[in-house]
Amino acid sequence: MNILILSAGTRNKVVQYFKENIGKGGRVIATDCSHLAPAVYDADAFYLVPRITAPDYLDRILEICVEEKIDGVFSLIDPELSLLAKEKEKFLASGTTPIISGYDLVETCFDKYRMFQMLTKMGIPTGKCYVDKEEFYRDVKDGKAGYPVFVKPVKGSASLNINKVYSHKEIDVLFELYDDLMIQEFMDGQEYGADVYVDMLSGKCTSIFVKKKIKMRAGETDKSVSVKIPSLFEMLQKFVEKCGFCGMIDIDLFEIGGIFYISEVNPRFGGGYPHAYACGVNMPMQVVNNLAGKENAVNIGEYKEGICMMKYNEIAVMDLAGAACE
């Protein structure tokens, strides 16, 4: 079996995990647009490819799928997920299965206002959002909303261009400077993260790992501790199965007054997934099973509580002249 990891970047651990689980004779191939992406050097082979916005990008990836006889492909960056989902049939025609949820669902995940609308319709607690600042101002006047709030792009990732604001004036300035912004209720509570797997064959949620976030850095979990919350397991299982998610899902939540609010949903490996893997929640193996036509058993919450993850800096030193690149 061969796996292709797109836009590998700095996610060395994910590459390593798939190499550990791919099985005898299997290969893990990685791509990136930069030869300075350290994760590609942990793969069995790697390809330098154009940026995802290049006209020939998709054709090049499909060529690699054929050349390397790729069984399954996934990406580690948000902008590429919609491309994989939208062009799913082209990948299938080349013999490769994209490990991604449906296109409409992926687009909903990256449109924070659409996600707010979907969660509200489903009766799942989430922070109130506004795309019309005048509507927000009216709610403030009527006592239905207040400051501070977050002003952020409706579509965005990695916590880029998010501003915590305290006044009408700040909101007016930001809306004047930038397009496609929204206002989101500030959720002042404990933050949690959930790494979830939805079986690609059965559609059942097979794994949920929940971590209490202790420290964040650049939009990713820097320090966390594993926890088990049965009521949260139940809520997340119903949510992902009802929506029809597929494969790896990363969910951010806040706990306020004993109620869990879903903040964001990312249909990919989250930056904090190594915590789950170290605790025995092996999603790469579940991917391999699914690609081999085998359903995974439901093992939600099968891990130990109180295990801490602490990220730290590491470096890779490479003689690029001697690096094997396709």
pLDDT tens digits, 29-78: 999 999 999 999 999 999 999 999 999 999 999 999 999 999 999 999 99
pLDDT tens figures, 265-317? 999 999 999 999 999 999 999 999 999 999 999 999 999 999 999 988 888 88
pLDDT tens figures, 73-132? 999 999 999 999 999 999 999 999 999 999 999 999 999 999 999 999 999 999 999 999
- Confidence (pLDDT) at 325: 57
Domain boundaries in the chain? Answer: 2-100, 128-185, 189-310
Q: Which residues pair with 211 in a beta bridge?
A: 193, 226
pLDDT tens figures, 209-264? 999 999 877 667 889 999 999 999 999 999 999 999 999 999 999 999 999 999 99
State the Cα angle at 41 between 39 and 45, rounded to 5°. Answer: 110
State the Cα angle at 117 between 114 and 120, rounded to 5°. Answer: 150
Cβ contacts of 283 within 8 Å, gap of 6 or more: 195, 197, 207, 248, 269, 273, 276, 277
Average pLDDT over the chain, rounded to whole? Answer: 94
State the Cα angle at 237 between 271 and 7, rounded to 5°. Answer: 25
DSSP labels, 156-182:
--TTTT-EEE-SHHHHHHHHHH-SSEE
pLDDT tens figures, 153-202? 998 655 567 889 999 999 999 999 888 999 999 998 999 999 999 999 99
Q: Does domain 189-310 have CATH number 3.30.470.20?
A: yes
Q: Where are the alpha helices (DSSP H) in 39-165?
A: 57-67, 78-86, 88-93, 103-110, 112-122, 133-141
First to last CA, the chain: 19
Structurally, at CATH architecture level, domain 2-100 sits in 3-Layer(aba) Sandwich (3.40)
Cα–Cα distance for residue pair 106/78, rounded to 1 Å: 9
- Confidence (pLDDT) at 108: 96
According to CATH, the topology of domain 128-185 is Dna Ligase; domain 1 (3.30.1490)
Q: Provide the whole-model pTM.
A: 0.92
What is the share, in percent, of the chain residues with pLDDT greater than 90? 87
Cα–Cα distance for residue pair 62/47, rounded to 1 Å: 12
Residue 206: what are its φ and ψ, rounded to 5°?
Answer: -105, -25
HSE value, Cβ hemisphere, 13 Å, CA-based, for 75: 21
CA dihedral of 186, 189, 191, 197, whole degrees rounded to 10:
-90
